[in-house]
Structure 1
Amino acid sequence: MQFHHHGYVSGDPRVLRAAGTGIDRPAELPEEMDVLIVGSGPAGMLLAAQLSMFPSLTTRLVERRAGRLEIGQADGIQARSVETFQAFGFAERIVAEAYWLTAMNFWAPDPQNPSHIVRGQRTKDDPHGISEFKHLIVNQARVLDYFAEYAANGPARVRPDFGWEFVGLEVGTEGEYPVSVTLRRSAGDDEGTERIVRAKYVVGCDGARSRVREAIGRKHIGAHAQHAWGVMDILAETDFPDIRTKCAIQSHEHGSILHIPREGGYLFRMYVDLGEVPEGDNGAVRQTSLEQIVAQANRIMNPYTLEVRDVAWHSVYEVGHRVTDKFDDVPVELTGRQDPRVFIAGDACHTHSAKAGQGMNVSMQDGFNLGWKLAQVLEGRSPASLLSTYSAERQVIAQNLIDFDREWSSMMARKPEEFDSPDALAQFYVDTAEFPAGFMTQYAPSILIGTDEHQALAAGFPIGKRFKSAHAMRIGDANPVHLGHHHRADGRWRIYAFADAPAAGQPSALGEWAEWMATSPDSPVATFTPAGADVDSVFDVKVVYQQTLDGVEFGDVPEIFRPRVGPFAVIDYEKVYAVDADQPDIFDERGIDRGGCLVVVRPDQYVAHILPLTARDELTRFFAGSMLAQQDLAAAS
């Protein structure tokens, strides 16, 4: 964590100095705003947290509830989400309070006595080592609390405006704030009163029954799977031996249970199979009582018993798989010719079963994808057409999720005799581990994702996939670190320059590239950094040398990797790295060519491009595809 570069900080360094719209932020909703977020779920709160880093923007978030969410339905936190939490600075704290899901056990009917269940396979949760972070279980409400804290501590001081319900909107074609939104007070002394606010952009994060989605004419496409499950968070007395381990439990006659221990050491969640839903049920299955759910759980778990002592929350749901036809307000036939003004994210555009643990996780990535793009456009660093990439990228991911969840949930509902082998469910879990962990997302080539012409230069950083961190040694303070853990949710692009063989200070391809990057008027830094801003305000440029700590002298490193930042122009010492002698060599571990290369990473942590150190014009052209030259803007003004 870096601070003090704007002067000594005597308090909590996580509370950033208020600036711009964060200074004397009005308690009441203003008449006009840059971004209006509707709904304080995972997508909305992450979006608010990210935009809180941009005090030049007026961001407001409205929520129909009177206050914070006290208990949420989602609880599974995949490793990709923990990587995201690291970017927002609270991964360590949430990991400390969460349940660590490191294994999954599979129970099936005893071949000798099918009315009883017996433990079969034990599997590791991450058998392939796809992340340094754990799979966690922690209530959604706590996740929202952490994002709310980050948003409130950001320079823009973004806090939810509770007690406001979305009624409708109209998108105009003229004026600086073309979206008119009607809101109604849903709590307080003035409950029921309405008012109209205007925004440049609106983001609907208002759940599966999204009114924002309805207002822009988008449709949920899909259907129920005609299968019901009861879910309950409980404290209970039980003799089931794996009560503190995630389990898939299949009985001979009574269906299945997905069992998930909760944080705190005592609470646990059970998804209890209630069976097929008959045609014409019309939602009657949702009236299944808690007592009936518990009784069904006991039938499935036989010979073990479950005596419920306390219920934190329970519900009944029918499995549904739906994805919205588009994630913004632009008609399909006008895509590419009209820029979007209204977006939807999270459950507003994709719904599925809870058993794959994807809802909250994918929703947060929706928000992360959109947030930095809105900031780049609103700050005049990118054209408005950039925002069309949100729907183009995230709709594909949502459909992949629906396809995976349909297969996983159908397997959980099958009877044991319907599988080809007793180990089929466990094998599917192991073989597909990368998808539910959040690491199968791979964006296609676009203005934000380059082609794979030079992929071989860094084979371990697949273009379009998230930047997979690795160990490195920071030269400035001799600290071993995970390279990717210093990628903050601050809207900046990362450019990792992996050096060729010569040491720092010796003639090299890296040295020539660094000199061009720092001094050429054609470099991305010169072209796309606003006048008067810190040299690393748009591009966070880092170097990784092939030598170990003693082989790199900080003073010999090119200036672009030792920028002077802040009002006092002090050197940033955290951009220069070497191989960590006590860990696998990052060049070998990530398949990086010893001739060096550039790895370009988007603000949302996805690898955007890989280029050789000699590809200077290509680097600038890549950024020109989605960014505006700041010299041209300055000249025009």
Structure 2
Amino acid sequence: MSNTVDQVDVLIIGAGPAGLTAANCFNGSNRLRVRVIDKKSGTVETGKADGLKSISLEVLDTFGIGDTIRNESHRVEEVVLWEPDGQGGVERSMTIADRVPELGKPREMTLDQGRIEHHLVANLERHGNVEISWQTQPVDLQINHRQAENPLAYPITVMMKDSGQETSQTQLIQARYVIACDGARSWTRKHLKIPLRGDLTDSTWGVMDAVPKTNFPDIRKVCVVHSAQGTIMAVPRERKLVRFYIAMDGTGLDVPTALSQKTLTVDHVVNAARSIFHPYTFEVGEVAWWSAYQVGQRVADNFSRNDRVFLAGDAVHTHSPKAGQGMNTSIQDAYNIGWKLRFHLEQKCSKSLLASYEQERRPIAQQLINFDREYLELFANPNLQFDEFLNAYQKAMRFTTGIGIRYAPSLIVQSPPMEEKTDNTAKAFAPGMRLPDFQMVNQADGVPTTLYHRMTMNGQFRLLVFAGDIAIQPVYHRLLEFGHWLTDFLRVNPGIETIIVHSSKRAEIELMDLPDVFHPWNDADGWDYWRVYADDESYHDGHGQAYQRCGIDRDDGCVVLMRPDGYASLICRMEQTSQISTFFEGLSLGIPEKVSFSARL
């Protein structure tokens, strides 16, 4: 029997990395009511995913917790390949720097998923506007299709119960939108009858987090060991832990491959590791966690239903954790739909924005599945050649980092007009691509910061103005003209933040000489000193070379309309203001003027 009814703007099902990422997208929103439910009693204690790529750390930077997580993590610097030595043992054959030069920073760190979840939960508690209900699971979900197009409606009804008790008492939640991040065995996906397509092989892998006691010389590096007995991948972690992935099918052990028989034990996994590392000794102290899984690569037919219920992360794509991209893709899914829902609800923009979630993320999921299949075949190859591994791993480093991802043209990705396609305003990225992270120096106080530390997640689009060398009079006057236009534009579109990165020497520029729109006044706390930055040498941290990294002419500059998730919506010159106006006109089409999203029943 149900005796309570709650109404929320957004209900998030699942409090893993994906669900907590989606929830953190709403931090600081006083207008929206967001609730998270999870059948667990709290964050995970051990195991699960453990690798954070640079793109995910940038997301955590926008939440304000990236540095805290970095301080706990282990930084990955090298990858080592070992091969059979022809005498029953193994020998080191190759050492690769775990580095993508375009990033300009470490590519990957490792930390237990439970600690990542802990910091995400603590961040929600600090902001205080998202409620988490543990030991709460859905038992029914219904969509009122007749109300799905009504922006004021709560068309989704979810029945919940306490997962920790055998009770008939339930609670009803009426929600405008639902984000389901409830894992590979997603209750929501099954309830909505959305199938997964792909392969589930018979290949069995063991995985464990353990403190190794060994004389193997590369145990604190990422290493891939091919031996006559099988294949193992070791990934160092925080403290003395190491994550081991072991192909159980190649060890010669009598291990059934069908996980349903549940005959695989941690001793099987340790014994397999011992045989692969031979002639080096291998024992384990603490085994913090272990598991076994069947390799599979599958993606859901749909990522949403009625653009009211959205599925993210493992709920819509499953793959081998050995590729090291599962949690990162889940975080990117959740970030993508999280900012879009917040912007749609707060700015009252077109509901078409929400359709772009599946349009953007499903092709990426399919690319991940294809990559994962090829990557697994590579590791399973007993005759792997050095050059083949090097090329594949370098490709993997770029792919899992997100470099090269480019979303197709859409409502929020505008290709330049045909006559301007040869105008290489920014050579290192394009509309639909994520801006590289770079250092910039605050004009007011000289303190350096990086782009994604500055881009706090608040659901806003940003105009990132690469103003050029404004110490030159013609360039300065061009910025003044843009400032006059921007002042009028922001009166109509107040939910947009403007940030300048100029290429002049910081000492040659006075902040108060710039139009007020670039350092706006607030009666409560005065001028805003965090809108103008210089691409200049800092006193202690060197030069960020922002213009060079973005491929932008230091004299000419450009304007980048930056989505809340860091991807470029459009790139134009300061004179091309009509492109910016047209973009936001298109984003707002179809919204009734009298709709109020702050209404409560």
Instruction: With the length of structure 2 as denominator, give the TM-score of the two structures.
Output: 0.91
Is the CA contact 1:597–1:611 (under 8 Å) kept in the aligned structure 2? yes
Q: Give the match for residue 137 of structure 1.
A: 110
CA distance in 1: counterparts of 2:264 and 2:595, whole angstroms = 65
CA distance in 1: counterparts of 2:406 and 2:458, whole angstroms = 22
Q: Which deviations, in whole Å up to 9, do the C-alpha atoms of 1:102-123 show, x marking residues without a partner? A: 1111111114x2x100111111
Q: Give the match for residue 606 of structure 1.
A: 567
Q: Give the match for residue 206 of structure 2.
A: 230
Which of 88, 91, 99 is the matching residue for 1:118? 91
Is the CA contact 1:130–1:434 (under 8 Å) kept in the aligned structure 2? no
Q: Secondary structure at the match of 1:396?
A: helix
Q: How far apart are 1:291 and its partner, in Å?
A: 1.1
Q: Give the match for residue 84 of structure 1.
A: 59
Q: Give the match for residue 548 of structure 2.
A: 588
Q: Secondary structure at the match of 1:433?
A: helix
Which of 139, 152, 156 is the matching residue for 2:125? 152
Q: Secondary structure at the match of 1:383?
A: coil
Q: Give the match for residue 511 of structure 1.
A: 480
Q: Which amino acid aligns with 1:305?
A: T
Q: Secondary structure at the match of 2:89?
A: strand
1:443 paired with 2:407, answer yes
Q: How far apart are 1:371 and its partner, in Å?
A: 1.0
Q: Which deviations, in whole Å up to 9, do the C-alpha atoms of 1:586-624 show, x marking residues without a partner? A: 333322133221011100111111011111111111122
1:162 paired with 2:134, answer yes
Q: How far apart are 1:31 and its partner, in Å?
A: 1.8
Q: Which amino acid aligns with 1:485?
A: H
Larger deviation, residues 539-548 vs 138-147: 539-548
1:486 paired with 2:454, answer yes
CA distance in 1: counterparts of 2:4 and 2:245, whole angstroms = 41
Q: Secondary structure at the match of 2:366?
A: helix
CA distance in 1: counterparts of 2:484 and 2:366, whole angstroms = 44
Q: Give the match for residue 474 of structure 1.
A: 442
CA distance in 2: counterparts of 1:550 and 1:281, whole angstroms = 67
Q: Secondary structure at the match of 2:202?
A: strand
Q: How far apart are 1:217 and its partner, in Å?
A: 2.2
Q: Which amino acid aligns with 2:492?
A: T
Q: Secondary structure at the match of 1:542?
A: strand
Is the CA contact 1:494–1:541 (under 8 Å) kept in the aligned structure 2? yes
Q: Secondary structure at the match of 2:433?
A: coil
1:552 paired with 2:519, answer no
Q: Secondary structure at the match of 2:216?
A: coil
Structure 1 segment 231-310 matched on structure 2, within 5 A: 231-252=207-228, 254-264=229-239, 266-275=240-249, 282-284=258-260, 286-310=262-286
Q: Secondary structure at the match of 1:451?
A: coil
Structure 1 segment 339-488 matched on structure 2, within 5 A: 340-415=307-382, 417=383, 419=384, 421-452=385-416, 453=420, 456-488=424-456
CA distance in 1: counterparts of 2:65 and 2:544, whole angstroms = 27
CA distance in 1: counterparts of 2:587 and 2:107, whole angstroms = 34
CA distance in 2: counterparts of 1:634 and 1:564, whole angstroms = 30
Q: Secondary structure at the match of 2:279?
A: coil
Which of 493, 516, 521 is the matching residue for 1:528? 493
CA distance in 2: counterparts of 1:131 and 1:226, whole angstroms = 40
Q: Which deviations, in whole Å up to 9, do the C-alpha atoms of 1:74-98 show, x marking residues without a partner? A: 0011111111111111111111111
Is the CA contact 1:286–1:316 (under 8 Å) kept in the aligned structure 2? no
Is the CA contact 2:436–2:549 (under 8 Å) kept in the aligned structure 1? no
1:94 paired with 2:69, answer yes
CA distance in 2: counterparts of 1:407 and 1:285, whole angstroms = 28
Q: How far apart are 1:379 and its partner, in Å?
A: 2.2
Is the CA contact 1:493–1:602 (under 8 Å) kept in the aligned structure 2? yes
Q: How far apart are 1:393 and its partner, in Å?
A: 0.8
Q: How far apart are 1:285 and its partner, in Å?
A: 6.3
CA distance in 1: counterparts of 2:10 and 2:498, whole angstroms = 29
Q: 1:67 to 1:568 in 2, by over 3 A?
A: same
Q: Secondary structure at the match of 2:564?
A: coil
Unaligned runs of 5+ in 1: 1-27, 331-339, 530-537
Q: How large is the RMSD of aligned CA atoms in angstroms?
A: 2.5
Which of 146, 150, 158 is the matching residue for 1:181? 158
Q: Secondary structure at the match of 1:462?
A: coil
Q: 1:315 to 1:511 in 2, by over 3 A?
A: same
Q: Give the match for residue 25 of structure 1.
A: none
1:201 paired with 2:162, answer no
Is the CA contact 1:513–1:614 (under 8 Å) kept in the aligned structure 2? yes
CA distance in 2: counterparts of 1:258 and 1:445, whole angstroms = 39
Q: 1:555 to 1:171 in 2, by over 3 A?
A: same
